[in-house]
Amino acid sequence: AIEGSVKLAAVDGLIFENNYIHDTRGVSRGLQFSGTNMIVRNNLFERVARTVIYFGKSSNSSITGNTIR
């Protein structure tokens, strides 16, 4: 089962900020994106079952200031 993850595709200009992602199960990723001009910053990830942050086909995007526990 895939539970507890955030998945967004073909996005442009997304800012994903100040979120709390936790207690995912199964084969889920904490956060999965594909797109352009995205920023993932200042989020807290706790007890994520698999890959915490995954950028698929993405360009001009950044990951900064996140906490993984």
Can you give the pLDDT at residue 25?
Answer: 77
Cβ atoms of residues 23 and 44 within 8 Å: no
Can you give the pLDDT at residue 33?
Answer: 87
Which H, E and C letters describe the chain, residue by residue?
CEECCEEEEEEECCEEECCEEECCEECCCCEEEEEECCEEECCEEECCCCCCEEEEEEECCEEECCEEC
Higher pLDDT pick, 63 / 7: 63
- Residue 46 pairs with which residues in a beta bridge? 22
Mean per-residue pLDDT, 38-57: 90
Would you say residue 32 has pLDDT above 90?
Answer: no
Confidence (pTM) = 0.84
